[in-house]
Amino acid sequence: MKNAILCCAGCGEEYGADAWRGLPWVCTLSRADVHRHVLDWPKGRVVEVRLCQSCGQSMARTASAAEVSSPAAPAAPLRTAT
Ligand SMILES: [Zn+2]
């Protein structure tokens, strides 16, 4: 998987794939949601919306449905070795 870079339209902040996953999640638009507006939408693609941590503007990117299957779940918590 390539390390996609996303640039905030509001402030120009750039995020790599890992940084993107750490941003506050807003919503994920399913194919059905997008299909109301875009008739020719590829199967298995969704739109993931997150907030820019610099300016708070929402940003969207497309992703595979499998990639964002549990968007509300935070990344696995880091556990410090004892
Ligand atoms: Zn921004």
Tens digits of residue pLDDT in 5-56? 799 999 999 999 899 999 999 999 999 999 899 999 999 999 999 999 999 9
Q: How many whole angstroms from 65 Cα to the centroid of ligand 1?
A: 25
pTM of the model: 0.73
Q: What is the pLDDT of residue 20?
A: 93
Centre of ligand 1 to C-alpha 82, Å, is 38
What is the distance between the alpha carbons of residues 19 and 57, in angstroms, rounded to a whole number?
A: 15
pLDDT at residue 1, rounded to an integer: 46
> For position 78, what pLDDT does the model report?
61
Max Cα–Cα distance, the chain, nearest Å: 53
CA of 52 to the centre of ligand 1 (A): 5
Instruction: For residue 59, report the distance from its CA to the centre of ligand 1, in Å.
Output: 8
Q: Which residues, including other chains, have CB under 8 Å from residue 31's CB and lie 6 or more apart? A: 41, 43, 44, 45, 46, 65
